Each structure stands twice: as C-alpha cells, then as structure tokens.
Amino acid sequence: MRASIIFLSLLFPIVGCQNKESTTALRSKTNINEEWYYLEDNAEGIELIQNLDSWVSIDLPHTWNSEDPTDNKAGYRRSGSWYKKTLSFDGIAANTRYSLYFEGANITTEVYVNGKKAGGHIGGYIGFEIDITSYLNKGNNTILVRVDNGYNRDVIPSQKSDFFIYGGITRDVWLVTKPKLALGTVKVTTPTVSHKTADVHLEIPIADYNTTAPLNIKAVLKNPKGDVVVSAEQTVKGETSKMALTNIEDPMLWDIDDPNLYEVVVSLFKNDQLLDETSEKVGLRWFEFKKNGPFYLNGKRVLLRGTHRHEEHAGVGAAMSNAQHRKDMEQIKEMGANFVRLAHYPQDPEIYKACDELGILVWDELPWCRGGLGEEIWQTNTKNMLREIIDQNYNHPSIIIWSLGNEMYWLPDFENGDDIDRMNAFLTELNDIAHEMDPTRKTAIRKYYEGAEIVDVFSPSIWSGWYSGSYKSYQKAIDTYKPQYDHFLHTEYGGSSHVGRHTENPITGEGVINSDGWEEAIVQTKVANIAQIGDWSENYIVDLFDWHLRITEQDSTFVGNAQWAFKDFGTPLRPENDIPYMNQKGLVDRNGNPKDAYYVFKSHWAKDPFVYIESKTWTERQGPAGKKRNLSVFSNCDEVELIHNGINLGKKKKDISKFPASGLTWDIDFKEGKNELIAVGITKEGIVQDTLLVNYRFQRNDTAKGLELSYKLMKNGNYLVTATAIDKDGLRCLDYEDKVYFQCLEGGATLKNQGTPTGSEIIGMANGRASIEIIPDSTKTELTVMVLNQNFKGTYIIIP
C-alpha cells in the first residue's frame, strides 16, 4: 500500500499549485491562494457568469470591501460575487479524496466544480471543507465559488453590529488530498495535568471505516524538544477510536511565559502498512476561575491582562495576510498582554496558532452580536456555527472560554426577538451544547444581564470615564460586581483617541475641565458623557488607562479585564468620528502604529525594559511664561531620571500605587523655543533612554484665520502633505479641531479610504494639523493638492 500511494503522488502531480504547507506520500495540503479570477456580479446562477469577460485577476485572501466601508460614502457593498480558479491534474488517483478547505468566506458560500455544485457553507468566520473528488477530471478543472455578504437576518452576526461584515474569500484556501480510508480530525483532551504527571486522551474518527478491514492505530507523543515521551497502539473497533497516553512524567507545562507545545502523531495501519498519518499540537495545562476571586493557571494566580482584536487592517479590510495576523498578536504580546478576547467572531487559524505559540489566553466568541433571537432557521444556523467553532478550535491550549454572545438582546431583527424567556431558553441550549462538546472549558457572555446565571463567566458593561461616570469610579464598580457574580471577568473599557490631539489640561478623573492657566480663575465645568463631549485627546485616554491599571494591578482578588480594543477598526455606525467610519478606541491605529496609550500598558505589563516620554505626537506646545507643566514618563524600569536642556532633574522610583505614570512625573519649566528632554531608564542590565524635542511658546494662538499646506518627500517615494491651521500672526492654532477635506487635483492621487491618520481625505484636525499621503502618477505632471472646509474655502499647494 505504501509503495502504491507514493507512486500515485508522483505520477499525478498538481499543476499550478504553489506554497505547499505539507506533503507526504499519504496526504497533502497545498495552498492555492494564487492565480484566481474575480467577478463583481450578484448573479445567482453559473450559466449567467461563465461567459462574461469582466473577470479580473487576483490572489487570495480577498474582499470586495477592502476600501468602500471607509470611503466618504454612506454604506458599503453587501451583495454577491464570484471567484474562479483552474486546477490541473495529470490524473485522478482512485483511492484519494480531494477537497477544498476554506479557512473563511463571508458570509454564505456555494462551490461549483466543472459546472456542478459540489457543496456550500452558511456562516462566515469559520472554516469549511468541500469534497470535490467525484467532480474532478484529468486535465483542467474549473472551480467557481459564489460568496455573498448580503443582508441575511438568518445568519449571525446582525447587520446592526458595530463592525463591518466584509464580503469575500477573506482567508486562505487549500487543496487537500488524503486517502479515502483516512484519519479524521483528532480531538485532544488533557483530563489530568499536574506538575508531576499528565494524561492525554485522544478521540480519533476514521473516514470510510469498513469493519472487514483489520486496522491498527498508533499514537506517539513528542515533547517540545522532539523527543518521544510516550506511545500507545490499539486495534480499531469502530468509526471512532479512543486512546489514552498516560503517566507523562514531569510534563513541560503550557503557560503564558513558557508556552510549551507537545506534538501527538497518530498513524493508521493495515497489516503493518501505513495508510494515513496526522499530527496535532498539544498544550499541557489546567486552569480555574476561583469563585468571586482570581484566575489560576497551573496552580498559580494569573491576573488576566487583556485586550480585544478585530480582524482587519488598513487597505485590505478583513483579507489580511498571515504575516499581518501574526504581527497583531506579536504586538499584543510585546505590550505584555496575556489574554485576548476575539471580538466578536472566531478568527483566522493563524491567530490561534500565534496564541498557542506566544502564550496568550483566548476568549473565543460565537458571533451572536446584537439582533436578538431569531426564528427556527436562524437558531439552526447559530447552533451549527457554535458546533463548528468548538470542533475546529478544540485542540488549542490557549482557549479557555467559549463565549456565546455579546449584547444579544439589542436591536432585535425579529418580532419578539428580545423576549427574555425565549432568549434564555435558547442561551441555555447553547450553553448545554458547549458543555456537552467541551466540559473542560468555561462559557461566557457579555452585557446580557438576564442570562448572567446561565453561563460560567459573565462580563457586565463598565465604561468608567467614557460613556458615563469618571474613571476614578472604577474600583467601586469592580467591588460591586465581584460578589454579585461567581465568575466576573470585565471585558471592554477605554475610550477614543485621535492621534496627535493633545491638551495641556485633559478632563480630570472626576470628570472636570480645568482652566489652562491663561485665564483668571473660572468655574470648572463638569462633563457627564465624555464620549460625546470630551476632546478625544491622547492625554485623557492615557490617564484613563493609567488609572484602570493602577487599580487592577493592585487588586489581589481581581480576575482581570480586557481593554477595548487593540487596533482602530471600521464601523458603519460612526460616520461622524474624526476619521469617519472608524472606531478610534485602539491602542494602535489601523496600520498598527502605536498611540501613546500603548506605552501605558507596556509600562505595567511588558518585560523588556523601555522608557517613553509622553508624547512623540506632542512636540508643539504653549502656555504662560513661568507656568510649569507636569510631564509623564512611562516605563517598566524601577528607576528613571529626566534631563531637560542638559540639566538633570533627578531620579524617581516607579511606584504603581501613585498616579499618574506610577510616580514618574516631573514639573517642567519649559523655555521658549527648543526644549530637549531625555529620559533614562535604569535597570540591572544597563540603561534605556528616550529623547523628545518640544517647541514651546509663551504666546497663545488666536482664532484660526486660514490653512497652510506644506509637504515632504517620504522614503517610499510618496509625499506627505500637511495642512496647518494658522491665526492672523501665522501661529499654529493648537486648539483647532474641525474636519478638513483633502483632494489631489492632478499629478497623482491621495492615499484614501485607509481609516488611518494619513490615509483619509476627510479628517479632524489634531492640534491644528492634519496630513495625507499623496501618490504621484506616471505623468510627471506637477502635483496639485487642495485642502478646505466650511471655514476656509480652498488652499492649494503645487509640488514640482
């Protein structure tokens, strides 16, 4: 048998398929992302599109919503489109099964092979496999795929959710070959794990099992070094076999600091001949949520230091490369986070792989986000998706929670869709499915209070200092909820910040706006809803997060929380924001560039020494002569010293009980003009430092009277054009925040629809300044760029 399979794999190679991930004589998995064609046509029958000549060449992943969600027009394309690819074979092996594996296609999919429907899938955000064996021919084979992200209230998430539902084949696609008599996906559990010993249990399905065939299964467990530590072998007695690998001595545990991964290799034999072989990664760990108390991993208390992740990036939407997925998780880990909530849907396989390898605990979420409870078809689709999520992601040691939904009762799509009794009955059914499929993990929901007692872990809504109250009320909030819920885990807190927007006096922790010092004493103003009335400055969000972390890092009974959200992301519900259609609550912008708040988290969580002066985007400041400004330095070093214009202002020790910046603050008497600041972080291994140049003035700008344009050549050959609001004396108006509108009239084009601080034609000014990247064309025509708003009717600049 082995010889014949090797012979077939050599005789019938796949033509036109590159980037093979794995190939053996028994099975292969070949990436087929390249050389597809795309047709933007909503036609529902293949006879309507096969002869059209408007196909365009593309590679996957792909979405037709890469830019239109964040353009300057309301709405985005929610419809159907077609994809086409040719697969060529020298021959079709008789004992081989061929299938296409889609890691994700949003949101319903139909697959055709050589004109015949081979299968389909309902629901996005999760992988599915289509068996195409019986439809293939020797030679060329045409694959047609129709994907539709149109409004469909029977498929979650609801269109009323606060994020875009990107259409297309948004993840990798693979051609998979394996024997018809083959191993299925091996399910791995670790029922017994301690520091001294561990057991691994395997559930092994077999496709096309035939009781007349004498079969054996062998399982081998290899430790992270690749050494075999235990093995077992047994006779197959049915369609599913169960095996136990026991007495694993002194196991190398998987945890957040040392994410050790074992590998289990499972082989299928007939008469000592190898028929099939597969492998899975295994993490040996155990965890516990203490009642009304903290979280424990491997018997040790771990404060969950978390954030959230949406699956999208500037310019590509949800069609991210694996490198982009990986970079997101590496940035999260570099920040020091050990926990991530995947909001609000299961994500690319690369994310789970990265979390397993980096040591990041995961809250995986069913996309029941808003829309209430649906009818029978909706309920069937929703239960199927939950089963798919658990089936596909079961073996990842990083996952500790299956979340069953978020804000589910909001804005029902069906009549009586917010009926509490019906909602709870269905939520109970989902909870039972999750526990039946996986009794080892916890279930959770967020912000559906009526269902809090149904699931294991509950997150209420606490947005101290943003949607209500002040951030200094956070301790009171968590002290209220900890005894109320057996397992309280706080997900979602934070607020929006516009890159480069700063204020000398951000709203205080009591929600008060203070005088800046230019004026006589004034009546202080109380702000009830900072999200609506606040300045969206980076300074305020820095203080908000700094206070939250000061509280949580000192609370020995707190489970932990997850900041919302790691990266700015697109939303159809926020056209009025400073970057239209962007939720700007990220710690990094939509391109992954850190904002100031990122360094606040690093100062509390990160291991590698660093120091950061607030702020790289705040280099133009003003104030009365002689008025000192309190300057914060964020660092994880035990001790920091600050030097101002060559004068050493002394060392300070980090103390997380102090606010702000853990006591690493200095009162600076800025000189008019150039000021050099050098912060030096002192560690046992040496020093780290950061330098900031600040131009300070004693004259306060007057009302804005015009816009000025300037430019500089970028390393990539493009130009960064900057608009500055100026007063009658030519001073930059540091208090000007109105939106401006960029246009490139000739000679090139704006980098637009990116949802980033330099990739949006419409953008709110940050301290009287806004920029956009301009891409020259090949005509060598002088670039002409215009900026305007309702106050200033048009300012031009010509770039020769």
Which residues is 676 bridged to in the sheet? Answer: 693
C-beta of residue 738 within 8 angstroms of C-beta of residue 716: no
C-beta of residue 503 within 8 angstroms of C-beta of residue 542: no
C-beta of residue 545 within 8 angstroms of C-beta of residue 632: no
Q: How many C-alpha atoms does 485 have within 13 Å on its Cβ side?
A: 30
Residue 23 has pLDDT above 60, yes or no: no
Q: Please give the pLDDT value at position 61.
A: 98
Residue 3 has pLDDT above 70, yes or no: no
Q: What is the mean pLDDT of residues 623-639?
A: 96
Give the whole-angstrom CA distance, residue 506 versus residue 523: 16
**What crossing angle do the helices spanning 420-437 and 376-393 adopt, rounded to 10°?**
30
The share of the chain scoring above pLDDT 90, in percent, equals 89
Catalytic residue among 388, 407, 504, 773: 407
pLDDT digits (tens, 9 = 90+) for 104-147: 999 999 999 999 999 999 999 999 999 999 999 999 999 999 99
**Strand stretches in 162-260, DSSP E:** 173-179, 182-183, 187-193, 197-207, 215-222, 228-235, 240-249
Residue 18 has pLDDT above 60, yes or no: no
Nearest residue to 743 (alpha-carbon basis) of 72, 188, 38, 234: 72
C-beta of residue 721 within 8 angstroms of C-beta of residue 754: no
Q: What is the mean pLDDT of residues 265-290?
A: 95
**Strand stretches in 433-487, DSSP E:** 442-446, 457-459
Give the whole-angstrom CA distance, residue 81 versus residue 120: 14
Q: Exposed, middle or buried: residue 19 (CB in 10 Å: 0-12, 13-18, 19+)?
A: exposed
pLDDT digits (tens, 9 = 90+) for 427-456: 999 999 999 999 999 999 999 999 999 999
Helix, strand, coil percentages in the chain from 3-state DSSP, rounded to 5: 15, 40, 45
Q: Sort strands 629-635 and 665-668 into parallel, antiparallel or unpaired.
A: antiparallel
Q: Please give the pLDDT value at position 24.
A: 52
Q: What is the mean pLDDT of residues 379-406?
A: 98
Give the whole-angstrom CA distance, residue 781 versus residue 747: 5
| Average confidence score pLDDT of the chain | 93
Q: Please give the pLDDT value at position 685.
A: 85
DSSP assigned state of 465: T
Give the whole-angstrom CA distance, residue 539 versus residue 568: 17
Q: Sort strands 560-563 and 490-491 into parallel, antiparallel or unpaired.
A: parallel
State the CB neighbour count (10 A cutoff) for residue 588: 20
pLDDT band at 795 (very low <50, low <70, confident <90, very high): very high
3-state SS assignment for residue 596: helix
Q: Measured on CA atoms in the order 332, 333, 335, 336, is the torsion positive or negative?
A: positive
pLDDT digits (tens, 9 = 90+) for 731-786: 999 999 999 999 999 999 999 999 999 999 999 999 999 999 999 998 888 999 99
Check if 407 is active-site: yes
Which residue do the tokens 């899975």 mark?
280
- pTM of the full predicted structure? 0.94
Give the whole-angstrom CA distance, residue 307 versus residue 190: 27
SS (H, E, C) 612-629: EECCCCCCEEECCCCCCE
